[in-house]
């Protein structure tokens, strides 16, 4: 029992020494990473504007996925007939513009 306590104490001391030696470097790296991610997100939102082609491709991929799920008899609407369909939520009558 005494040997296990010494092992745990030594492990705790090693972890504490690591945290003391490298704690601020790790914290600084995480802060730097967070600032970089925020800056990259801001720049990306300023530069990227989705085009009509983007939405056409996205609609085609989603449609293919829905057909595959329907073929595999997987229902995405557990509410049955009470569920709304996606085309009825669109502002235009056309589900996927071509």
The pLDDT value recorded for residue 78 is: 62
Residues 3 and 44 in one domain: yes
pLDDT value at position 51?
A: 82
Length of the chain: 98
pTM value surpassing 0.75: no
**31 and 68 within one domain:** no
User: Which tens digit of pLDDT belongs to each residue from 31-50?
Assistant: 999 999 999 999 988 887 77
Distance, in Å, from the CA atom of 95 to the CA atom of 60, rounded to the nearest integer, reads 10
The predicted structure's pLDDT at residue 81: 56
User: Do 39 and 59 fall within a single domain?
Assistant: no
Decide which of 15 and 49 is more confident. 15
Are 33 and 72 in a shared domain?
no
Counting the structural domains of the chain, the total is: 2
Do 4 and 38 belong together in one domain?
yes
72: DSSP letter: T
Q: What is the pLDDT of residues 59-95, one digit of tens each?
A: 899 989 988 988 888 777 665 555 555 555 455 555 5
Structural domain including 18 reads 1-49
């Amino acid at each position: 029992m005494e040997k296990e306590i010494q092992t745990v104490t030594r492990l705790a001391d090693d972890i504490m020494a690591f945290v003391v030696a490298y704690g601020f470097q790790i914290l600084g790296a995480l802060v730097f990473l967070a600032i970089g991610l925020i800056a990259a997100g801001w720049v990306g939102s300023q530069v990227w504007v989705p085009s009509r082609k983007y939405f056409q491709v996205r609609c085609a991929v989603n449609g293919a996925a829905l057909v595959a799920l329907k073929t595999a008899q997987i229902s995405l609407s557990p509410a049955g007939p009470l569920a709304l369909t996606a085309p009825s939520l669109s502002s235009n009558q056309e589900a996927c513009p071509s």
